[in-house]
Amino acid sequence: MNHDNFVCAILSQIDIHGRIKCRERNDLEYKETFNICNFSKYAKTMAAFANNQGGYIVFGVKDNPRELKGVNQAFFDFEQEKFTNALNNLFSPELIWTSNIVESNGKNIGYIYTAKSLDKPVVALKVDNGEKINSGDVYYRYRARSEKIKYPEMRKIVEDRAKEEQERIFKLIETIKNSETTNLGIIDYMNGHITTPYGVDVAIDKQLVVKILKKAKYIKSGSFNETEGIPVIKVSGNIDLAEEIPVPNIIPDVQYPYIQKNLKEQLKVNNAQIAALIWYYKIREHKKFHIEISTSATSLIKIHKYSDIALQYLADKINENNEKPDWLLCIENEYKDCKRLRRTTNGQA
């Protein structure tokens, strides 16, 4: 969908009094002005859109009566990266959004479009007293209002997720069935497990899995989509490599050479600051930045290892904000508040 065209089409429908015909609805909300101080209000509406079918907040339109006023300068000036970081700190999973400015009847109108979430429900991560948002809250768009979700809509989200998962499994089973073989197993090359058609699961060394995969072809009939489910291949003996298969061959001390102490020393920050930076930029949520390893097969102790990419990313962030004296302190305070809230929540559970 072309979002510019959609917004222009809405704004072009004018009655004889010069007012916009289209009312606020499930996928549309009007704001006369943009103010970054109202971030939490916008974020709640965006989360409600994401949990329904997506929608637009249109700035520069007076709602009652619905008249074009033009968006204020603040919309031109707001920083999208900071806005995104704030959204990710308040709601999860990540909200997918975009913004732009269009012209209608000689006036500049801004909009923020939020896409329907593919991983519902979008949930509040922390308390925001200004909008009375509590950790764990789920918002949903009801007509022209963003409210806490009710049971029927939450049940539908849960049922839809179960249905989608079921459809993926059926698709996988159908593809296996159409391969016309009974001697078919599934290799999960992330952990070295092979599931056999005889009810016996085998765990082998990952390095051996790598060698096997390099002598394997993808099943051609009903070829699998590697973005859905576990990659599935048919091993047909000592064959030539038909196509290169990307196989993670991770040596933690090579690809992830740093522990948190090393990052702290390299970046010249203290213990509290490096912990806050790792939390704020979600370093542990991305495999390109971080892996977690055990000291032994039976150990419960986990070690966090970080890549060169993580080090460079954090160094770039520090350099970008070097002239903002309170930047790192603000991140530290947010991190402390989050930990305090988590302790309080765990204490109440």
What is the band of 207 on the pLDDT scale with cuts at 50, 70, 90? Answer: low
**For 102-113, what is the mean pLDDT?**
94
Q: Is 187 helix (H, G, I), strand (E, B) or coil?
A: strand
The CA-based diameter of the chain, rounded to the nearest angstrom, is: 78
* 133 lies in the same domain as 217: no
**Residue with structure tokens 């305070």?**
333
**For 247-267, what is the mean pLDDT?**
78
Residue 76 clears pLDDT 70, i.e. is over it = yes
**For 127-139, what is the mean pLDDT?**
91
One-character DSSP codes across 151-165: HHHHHHHHHHHHHHH
CA distance 113 to 53: 11
Residue from 76, 81, 71 nearest 7 by CA = 71
**pLDDT digits 0-9 by tens, 151-199:** 999 999 999 989 988 888 888 777 777 766 556 666 665 566 666 665 5
Residue 54 clears pLDDT 90, i.e. is over it = yes
Q: What is the pLDDT of residue 169?
A: 86
**For 93-116, what is the mean pLDDT?**
93
Strand 61-63 versus strand 139-142 pairing type: unpaired
- Phi then psi for residue 264, to 5 deg, are -60, -45
CA distance 151 to 54: 20
Compute the mean pLDDT over every residue in the chain, rounded to the nearest whole number: 81
Residue from 122, 101, 120 nearest 111 by CA = 101
CA distance 176 to 161: 23
User: Helix, strand, coil shares of the chain as percentages rounded to 5?
Assistant: 40, 20, 40
**pLDDT digits 0-9 by tens, 265-284:** 999 999 999 999 999 999 99
Residue 301 clears pLDDT 80, i.e. is over it = no
Provide the residue range defining the domain that includes 311: 252-348
* 97 lies in the same domain as 211: no
* 323 lies in the same domain as 236: no
What is the band of 213 on the pLDDT scale with cuts at 50, 70, 90? Answer: low
Q: Is 186 helix (H, G, I), strand (E, B) or coil?
A: strand
- List all residues 6 or more positions away from 173 whose beta carbon is below 8 Å from its beta carbon: none
* 118 lies in the same domain as 159: no
Q: How many domains, the chain?
A: 3
* 10 lies in the same domain as 144: yes
DSSP letter, residue 174? H
| CATH code of the domain in which 98 resides | 3.30.950.30
CA distance 234 to 219: 6
* 167 lies in the same domain as 128: no
Q: Give the total residue count for the chain.
A: 349
Let me know: does 138 contact 123? Beta carbons within 8 Å: yes
* Among the ranges given (142-156, 203-217, 268-282, 315-329), the one the predictor scored with the smallest mean pLDDT: 203-217
CA distance 291 to 306: 7
Q: What is the pLDDT of residue 342?
A: 78
* 96 lies in the same domain as 119: yes
pLDDT above 70: percentage of residues in the chain: 74
- Domain end marker among 149, 181, 212: 149
- Domain end marker among 197, 230, 249: 249
* 284 lies in the same domain as 235: no
Cis peptide before 65 (omega within 30 of 0): yes
* 162 lies in the same domain as 101: no
- Domain end marker among 120, 149, 178: 149
* 36 lies in the same domain as 135: yes
* 75 lies in the same domain as 162: no
228 or 133: which carries more pLDDT confidence? 133
Q: What is the pLDDT of residue 17?
A: 86
* 46 lies in the same domain as 106: yes
What is the band of 243 on the pLDDT scale with cuts at 50, 70, 90? Answer: very low
